[in-house]
Amino acid sequence: MFSRPHPRPDREQRIAERAARNAAQAQTCLPRRAAVVGGGTAGPAPAAREKVPGKKRQAIRDSARGEACTVRLPGICANDPDATIWSHARWLDAGKGGATKALDLAGAYACTACDAAYDGQRKPPPGYTREDVDRDWCMGHFRSLLRLAQKGLL
């Protein structure tokens, strides 16, 4: 009933054609890639730079070890200092974007359970809305900023 106008090439021929196309495309990208990466024979690649200077402050992240959770979502909070992490804000205004975390300064000491509820990986506590969780996270953020100031990290 339906016939193809041209016979379909066999598998090996299709693979060879695809390899030839990929090789031709790679040749056209090489000069641009070398310029972007800093490669070629022009010398060593430039040192890596932060996208946003001061964005990553490892001391703030490390300071979460042994801290109490400051978010304190009722019915969810583990109240376990061993489970406390530095929870990053999830707003664009805090420097978040795409697959990039927010500025380290825009965060809160949160146990993993509260952080999961804030990030939406876990349901909010009974009777809470997303706005309530955000509000409690913001209060935890303010409490965390005070702790960072007491530790001399701000």
pLDDT tens by residue, 17-45: 888 887 777 666 555 555 555 555 555 55
Residue 117: pLDDT over 90 = yes
Q: What is the assigned CATH class of domain 58-151?
A: alpha beta
How far is residue 10's CA from residue 44's CA, in Å, rounded to a whole number? 45
Q: Where are the domains of the chain?
A: 8-48, 58-151
Which pLDDT score, from 0 to 100, does residue 22 have? 76
Which pLDDT score, from 0 to 100, does residue 60 have? 87
Residue in the structure block whose two tokens are 């979460």: 64
Which pLDDT score, from 0 to 100, does residue 125 have? 92
User: Which whole-number Å values give the CA distances from 13 to 5, 16, 20, in the listed order?
Assistant: 18, 5, 11
Q: Which of 86, 54, 80 is nearest to 151 (CA)?
A: 86
